Amino acid sequence: MRRVLVLFAHPVLERSRVNRRLLDAIRDLDGVTIHDLYEEYPTLDIDVKREQELLSSHDVIVFQHPFYWYSVPAILKEWQDLVLEHGWAYGHGGTHLRGKITLNAITTGGPETAYKKGGYNRFTIRELLAPWDQTAFLCGMRFVAPFAVHAALKVVRDEDLADCRADYRTLIQALRDDRVDLERAAAAENLASELATILSPREVA
């Protein structure tokens, strides 16, 4: 069984419609650690050693966050800048993240149709996540496609998100249980809409 670390970043969780519900869908899973960065570090005073220990003791690293200005909430950028040290995460002796699997689980206000060439956001989510892809590559990690939930502002009730919640739970369980085709997951655009194609048959059933 792989150990899964969910690094969660939402500055106002009590106002969240989607991230809060997605998180609730995986809270009780064995082998899954949820680490709420804004709750742990409200003044952004990140404990680098502790974060590195958490990374070392997990095999799958999920960054769950709303998409803010085509990127991540501020604490995640701060986390990257401090925690991914030269000689630890990359560079000479920087081998601690090698072989770990990583992905972004994101929510967007914009609809799926906006995130393509010709759409009003002009780029796909994967293109906009290129810095995360390349950071993972530099650190020797396996970057797979994001789990992206679009049109987040349309979600009002739990029922609006029932399928997404179930799919997110299935994905996290499958990553934990080594039941994801990683090559297909790396080549996909959005695991939320392509889940069935990356799971082994038992997981789909």
Ligand X SMILES: Cc1cc2nc3c(=O)[nH]c(=O)nc-3n(C[C@H](O)[C@H](O)[C@H](O)COP(=O)(O)O)c2cc1C
Residues that bind ligand X (CB under 6 A): 10, 16-19, 66-70, 107-110, 152-153
Q: In angstroms, what is the minimal distance from the CB of 151 to ligand X?
A: 9
Distance CA 89, CA 87 (A): 6
CA atoms within 13 A on the CB side of 103: 25
* Closest to ligand X by CB, 162 or 187: 162
Q: In angstroms, what is the minimal distance from the CB of 23 to ligand X?
A: 9
Whether 118 and 111 have beta carbons less than 8 Å apart is answered as no
Cα angle 32-80-7, degrees, rounded to a multiple of 5: 20
Q: In angstroms, what is the minimal distance from the CB of 19 to ligand X?
A: 3
CB-count burial class (<10 Å; 0-12, 13-18, 19+) for 87: exposed
Q: In angstroms, what is the minimal distance from the CB of 10 to ligand X?
A: 6
Return the SS3 of 79: helix
Q: In angstroms, what is the minimal distance from the CB of 21 to ligand X?
A: 8
* Closest to ligand X by CB, 84 or 152: 152
* Closest to ligand X by CB, 191 or 198: 191
* Closest to ligand X by CB, 16 or 193: 16
Distance CA 89, CA 95 (A): 6
* Closest to ligand X by CB, 148 or 175: 148
Report the largest interatomic distance among the alpha carbons of the chain, rounded to a whole angstrom. Answer: 49
